[in-house]
Structure 1
Amino acid sequence: MPVKNRFAELQQDITAWRRDIHENPEILFETHRTSALVAEKLRAFGCDEVTEGIGRTGVVGVIKGKSDTSGKVIGLRADMDALPIHEQTGVAYASKTDGAMHACGHDGHTAMLLGAAQYLSETRNFDGTVVVIFQPAEEGGGGGKEMCDDGMMDRWGIQEVYGMHNWPGVPVGSFAIRPGAFFAATDQFEITLEGKGGHAAKPQETVDTTVMASQLVLSLQTISSRNADPVDPVVVSVTSFETSSKAFNVIPQRVHLKGTVRTQSKEMRALAEERIKAICAGVAATFGGTADVTYHLGYPVMVNSEEQTAFAEDVARSISGQCDEAPIVMGGEDFAYMLEARPGAYILVGNGETAPVHHPEYNFNDEAIPAGCSWWAEIVEQRMPA
């Protein structure tokens, strides 16, 4: 089954929706305009039920098939939020909001799921129920968790859930997926080192927090090189180094560090936190200072279910003839919360040779729309055949 002809017919409309969303980006849970647009279109398509305000600003639509002898309920999820980035694409439909842009393609995800919802509402060529999920705040806000915490899975009886993300560097119209751990857990840490400030000409009278912090930044890298199993990935990155002094001749009393930890297993996630705290205490004690560590647990590891991944891969191959094994991704994805709640799978659809996501020159490739929409529709029609 190649790309569905109906999506070739709808591509111009879906592209127009996508570009309208692109022009009007909204960050985190502030997706009021986007959510209203989604709800309006779902009602116009004839969805059996449209509910707003799930997970604050999320939207859920229900589409019933021609029959329901299977009793199956499948969820399809797209994210709606943008990023706090100043756009530099130069396209005619560039962001009208300074400091906000769709730099990750969520405008494309939303538009493709809307296209699939229109087709499924028109044809209803399946036996069961589809729940289309439009989620806010994927980019650090945990909107997926909020929708689950609002009781979404139980309220609509969702049994399986599927997600999709565009991927630069993968040919347009092709797919990639992997079973098991896929996207990383994303945790954060803050470290405050306290020493004894003083004049830079008299270092012997101080406890130098700059030297202490410099040693700590290097020591934290031993978690990956000496504590971790080499086949269980972990990334520890210190991304901010601030001292309490702005003068050239003052050794600061205090240094504040920030960073992130990325892991692919619960075991490594726990080990990384344990070792960061232990290394901080040890390095601070060595220099005669103290270390206060605050550790923030972020998104969990996103784990694709074996059975649903195999099915999603077969569907992708039926559309494009190609579905490669995706690499492990050390970025985070809060679809992880939905996959913790229900079995399912997350797939990558090719965006072609474009700028990477989270880059000010990134732009979703509208040529990917027919393939993405077809995958959504085929997930439903093949999983719940009429």
Structure 2
Amino acid sequence: MSADADHIGSATADLMANITDELHDISLRPVGHGGYSEIYTGVWRSTFGSMKVAIKVIRAAPRPRSTNELPRVLRREIAVWKRLLHPNIHFLCGFYEGFGSVPALVSPWYENGDINDYVRLRTADPNIGLMKLKLFADVVTGLEFLHKHHIVHGDIKGGNVLVSSTGVARLCDFGLSRLLLEHSQSTTSTGGNGTVRWMAPELLLVDGAHHSYESDIWACGCLFIEVWSNVLPYHDKANNHQVLIALSRHEPPARPDDMPNIVWSLVQSCCVSETAGRASPSSLLDIIHVSLTMERVGKMVQLNHLPNVVESKLLAEIATSLREADAHGVADLYELSDIELATAVVHYYLVWAVSRSGLFQNPLFEWCLARINIYHLLVPTEQYVVEPVTLAELRPFARLIAQVSPGLAKRLMTKFAKSTMPFVIVV
């Protein structure tokens, strides 16, 4: 969706939801199909401008003796959804009447398609990991907005996350699954077209269970698997029947081979059998922000190769230091320049390391803190005996220091990298 379309969305949010007379050039045949819908295209011409739109025609049959209930409820819900304006929520233009008794949902057309389409076309991008994590942040931010407005999405999966022309992920079809389940003969909640693979276990195991904030979080974890690794959740299960058996045993989805630890921690925070143990959107965002930062820090430390044991240990410690720091201060680190990012990360890591080892018990970290001038540290003049540090052990940390000051990194290696006996440092 273009900036012009965003402007039209904001300008028309409070206008009448029925825009049937404002739609033109509707395609003769559907251009896409969903589990309970067909998608047509058209042009919406409002007083604020024109734009291409998608027209979602609901094909679910109403429940017996409630033929008129579904159209009435859907019109009411569309009027509410239309007023939900947020950068990570798919804007709803209104509804169109002309494809039967059930009103069709009208929304901006996204050339980028859904999140899976968008990512698959960019697999060769060297920053694909960073891109995926930013999309995850968009999804969770949108979900947090819905939950704050007391709306359960009910059908989070890749097909229901669209990507704008500026690369921003936006949730769509929120609330629609619940509405269709209550007022039609739709089975989208229980297995049609693979939706069962995103389904939280309590929806299967607890009598009368409904989609909830917590089941949305479970589905988010499944979405992370789907997008990061380009496999379905429960990819090790051949069919939905096997998935249902796994859910009945409270088995979480399996970890794909290519999923790094920090992304897997996101999935684990979501796919917890007990609903009370699942993360909140805000805590997920904290993890994602650290992951975004670590995606860049990893490239500084690893130099475009898989991390060895020493590098993995350092990166794990840095990630821990960021998670234990003030969440607000860490949130936007990934957007800084290389030198600003490295300086901030070194600051958080060194202060954490010194506090963990006891004040003044690690002269290597104290020395760095004092010379980078990012932390007021009163260094005593007495002597300390330091265990030897090999070149291989110190080199990953020196690479990170080099992002702040190449000269300081060389001095660090010269002063501390030894492979012989313990030695004395005079500070």
For the aligned pair, the TM-score class normalised by the smaller chain equals under 0.3
Higher relative contact order (CA 8 A, sep 6+): 1
Q: TM-score, normalised by structure 2?
A: 0.21
Higher strand share: 1
